[in-house]
Structure 1
Amino acid sequence: MLPLSAVKLRDQLAAGEISSREATAHHLQRIDEQRSLGAFVHVSEAALDAAARADEAFVKNRGQLGRMHGMPTAFKDLGDVAGMPTTHGSAAVEHPVATRDSALAARLRAEGVIVLGKTQVPEFGLSSYSENLIAAPSRNPLAPQRSSGGSSGGQAAAVAAGMIPVGPGSDGGGSVRIPAAACGLVGLKPSLGRIPSDVLEGYSDGFGAPKLTVSGPLAHDALDAALLMDAMRGTDHYLPLLRGRYPEELANLRIGYSTHSPFQSVYEITVSPDAQQAFSAGLKLLAQRHQVELAKLAYAEDYPEAFGAVWTNGLKDIPLQDESRLGALAREFRRRSQQRSLQAATQAATRIRQIAADFIRQWSAYDVIATPALSGVPPMVGHYTQGSAERDYMLQCQYSPYSSMVNVSSAAAITVPTGTSKEGLPLGIQLISPRSDEGMLLALALQISV
């Protein structure tokens, strides 16, 4: 039986106690056994051969191997992986087989990972649920009738179900933290620029807004997340930090908690009793070492409008093979982006930068801001798609009302499971670092792990 911990598996691989081929075969079997979860949209036929080559390299170059040499993982179907099709979760675009890796995939291949395949995403990564028109929805391993979240929903389902030990995700509005929280995992959204491959094309979009999407780990615990963070950056920092005295010595932080959301100006935001209980449980654990107090926050009432524009601005430029095959949400968001003038798009970008500065100003009165991870338990598969695109978007904002503001601010945040609902579904807490200290967030996650 392989360990659930990615760190322990890495250590066993590095010690030669288990071969990459054995680890890869085990995880491929897990993928095959749990196909009904819909986590994977493509499974590599070359993974075992790659693992065999990794084992040969281990024998020849044992002291010169990557941080995750021989460890299986997968990538979201929003980025290219050489030899595999890229669908972006859309039936409206071509699905070419990639001839080269994305920058992140190349970085992790350099660390020795074995790529098992591509995982399910929403169309163009737009939503907090991983359902689209090209493949079966990604389901929550803890309750298969429910969503695994999005847009890294397939990744979260795969990690939670033991199909991969740890998974790199991407987060543009909560897309690592939402599925991690839905599936009982730790999800880290790093600050903009912390992962070098995220900023190869700059720190802002084409209209002047901060780049929203960054890469981050989905993992069973903080140590596994730290391992993947180090591999994604190509430096040893976070895992040695967590294995040292820092988590034990970290104390007396000023932590402000709040359930106020910037979406409250347009939508009713309600935290369920179970989610509130898990949030309170997390705060109680934090209070054992730190100063926890209510944070009185006031957010700009035009945030929803400005964020919506910035979030959808780029859709009009996506080349489509067949626009009629767009899903309802992507079709509506694309229509809005096409109708938005350049002046309006630029004004929204300017306004979102002003709002981001105000977020950081308010949050910086504290070392950490704590919010609920989500407003409640994961919804049923199909919950969002029964009505209009506007209703779909509203439901998403109500489910994850504390996520996108972190992307707008370019700060770092982590979600950690701290309780369960009456049905046994995971719920948790989100911790935001206005000073973008990912090491501190990982240490706090380690302190409050339950």
Structure 2
Amino acid sequence: MSAIHELGALELWRLLHARQLSAVEVATHFLDRIERLDEANAFVHVDAELALRRARELDDADDRTGLIHGLPFADKALSLREAQPADMGSRWLEGTIAEATDPLPRVLDAGGGVVLGRTASPEFGFAGYTRSALHGFTTLPGRPDLHAGGSSGGAAAAVAQGLLPFAPGSDGGGSIRIPAATCGLVGLKPTRGRIPAQGGVGQVGGLATAGAIARSVIDVALLTDALIGRVNGVAPHELVLRSPERDDGSLLAAAIRGEGRYRIAVMTGGTPWDSSDDIRIAPEATAAVDETVALLKRFGHEVGEVALPDASGYPEAFTDLWRGGAATIPIPVEERDRLEPLARWIIESSDRLTAGGLAKAQLWATEFERRVLAAFAPWDAVLTPVTALTPRPLDWYPIDDGEADFRHQVLHTPHTSFVNVTGLPAIALPVHRTAEGLPMGVQLIGRPGEEATLLAIGRQLERRVPWEQRVVDRMRP
């Protein structure tokens, strides 16, 4: 049998379910790897005692039907868990301990998961790369000179190093898709409202949703089903967005089948940020799209083009929605000198955002969403790059200037945030590799609630492109 960390999450689940492996064995294996091999700085906290206690409880339980029974995961540093650190990557909250557990970790606990610790995030998740003054840089595994992407960079770096079989993340502007593509992994941002515990509903702008990162499409589907919280194929939450009935309704079933022929369009007409920033699409990003198109045509899919609708006004609207979310962070003015420049710029600029300004941004975003959905409606999926540029050097972002830092993030990832504004599902797939061997991902954007379609297409690509094996081959023993 392959080493435990080389097995996919679904393979591990089957062995745990059959009692050929114990949850304690699996947790111990991954805890040992974290202690020895986390050169990318993926984890900011590990609680071995908590993990092994939980694993023993699961081994002693008669019921092993949990969707992720015995499988290790880690909370992203932005999720709170009782009695665990709650600094959210910020010096302002350094030393803070959570008094209660957020809904999302509770859902994964209920599914039978074993939490090992916490993965790195930039301060409050504001950046598309993962670095904080509190915890340092999280780097691309095997390339300590490059960023791992963000803000779920710790989650992606953990999976890419074989420290976890999969990991939950959150995505408010690309924060799952960016690090997944950068680290050569699969990352799924579900439709707004699809994840009951954290789906964007009730947030300013409705931008951020939880999602999954893994080496394979199948394992992303498994974790996403667990995040939805399915019991016997039914999501037990009255507000959850349901997809059309597909067998038992599980995304895992759709991913395993990987069937269908679809209408897929390459997005043309630039990016939503073209009116404010000098967006340049690197040849490597174009090559990733071209390679994917060639494969899709070979599989028998219809491939065409669709133009991005008029996005003039997008940069102002998105930035105001981003500021609106930042305005909910209750940090007193006199304590803001403890913030890093990016967070301070966003939060202080939110002070100048009026109720009318926020309402205007939300109304613009709603109209933009309608235009995008109408344009994309004839297509089952729409294809773009994930990042416009290759993985960025550690010194590329001007971290001492918050506004300049934000602008550099736009240059790197101009295709991701509009998917959050429109609430659509999107999957990052690491189809291409550069001449230097660096991963370059593509993004497939789906119809509302149609994650199953994205997973089916992704599975077809996965059968031809050995991205999971590339990750396994790169892992240290």
Query: 1:170 — aligned with what?
Result: 170
- RMSD (Å), alpha carbons: 1.6
Q: Provide the rounded CA distance (Å) in 2 between the counterparts of 1:101 and 1:11.
A: 29
SS in 1 for 2:197: helix
Query: 1:38 — aligned with what?
Result: 41
The number of residue pairs the alignment matches comes to 438
Query: 2:358 — aligned with what?
Result: 345
Structure 1 residues 314 and 255: alpha-carbon distance in aligned structure 2, compared to 1, 3 A threshold: closer
Structure 1 residues 204 and 353: alpha-carbon distance in aligned structure 2, compared to 1, 3 A threshold: farther
Return the TM-score normalized by structure 1.
Answer: 0.94
Contact kept? 1:4, 1:162, Cα under 8 Å: no
Q: Partner amino acid for 1:293?
A: G
- 2:296 aligned to which of 278, 281, 286: 286
Query: 1:304 — aligned with what?
Result: 315
1:8 paired to 2:11: yes
1:372 paired to 2:385: yes
Deviation per CA, 1:196-227: give whole Å up to 9, x if none: 1125xx72445xx4x11111100111100111
1:222 paired to 2:232: no
- 1:396 aligned to which of 389, 394, 409: 409
Query: 2:55 — aligned with what?
Result: 51
- 1:254: how far off? 4.0
Deviation per CA, 1:349-401: give whole Å up to 9, x if none: 21111112212122223221100111122101232135522221111111111
Gaps of 5+ in 2: 234-249, 466-477
Q: Provide the rounded CA distance (Å) in 1 between the counterparts of 2:296 and 2:142.
A: 26
Structure 1 residues 276 and 18: alpha-carbon distance in aligned structure 2, compared to 1, 3 A threshold: same
SS in 2 for 1:107: helix
Q: Provide the rounded CA distance (Å) in 1 between the counterparts of 2:262 and 2:451.
A: 17
Deviation per CA, 1:230-251: give whole Å up to 9, x if none: 111122401122334xx23x01
- 1:94: how far off? 5.3
Q: Provide the rounded CA distance (Å) in 1 between the counterparts of 2:306 and 2:263.
A: 14
1:436 paired to 2:449: yes
Contact kept? 1:172, 1:214, Cα under 8 Å: yes
SS in 2 for 1:78: coil
Contact kept? 2:27, 2:72, Cα under 8 Å: yes
Q: Provide the rounded CA distance (Å) in 2 between the counterparts of 1:262 and 1:324.
A: 33
SS in 2 for 1:417: strand
Q: Provide the rounded CA distance (Å) in 1 between the counterparts of 2:379 and 2:256.
A: 26
Gaps of 5+ in 1: none
Q: Provide the rounded CA distance (Å) in 2 between the counterparts of 1:188 and 1:377.
A: 20
Structure 2 counterparts to residues 201-350 of structure 1, below 5 A = 203-206=201-204, 209=205, 211-235=206-230, 236=233, 237-244=250-257, 247-248=258-259, 250-258=260-268, 260-288=270-298, 289-320=300-331, 322-350=335-363
Q: Partner amino acid for 1:203?
A: V
- 1:39: how far off? 0.7
Judge which range, 64-73 or 108-117, deviates more. 64-73
Structure 2 counterparts to residues 134-153 of structure 1, below 5 A = 134-153=134-153
SS in 2 for 1:196: coil
Q: Provide the rounded CA distance (Å) in 1 between the counterparts of 2:161 and 2:38.
A: 11
- 1:103: how far off? 0.6
Structure 1 residues 180 and 240: alpha-carbon distance in aligned structure 2, compared to 1, 3 A threshold: same
- 1:18 aligned to which of 17, 21, 26: 21
Identity %: 36
Judge which range, 219-228 or 47-56, deviates more. 47-56
SS in 2 for 1:187: strand
- 1:69: how far off? 1.1
Query: 1:159 — aligned with what?
Result: 159
Q: Provide the rounded CA distance (Å) in 2 between the counterparts of 1:233 and 1:294.
A: 32
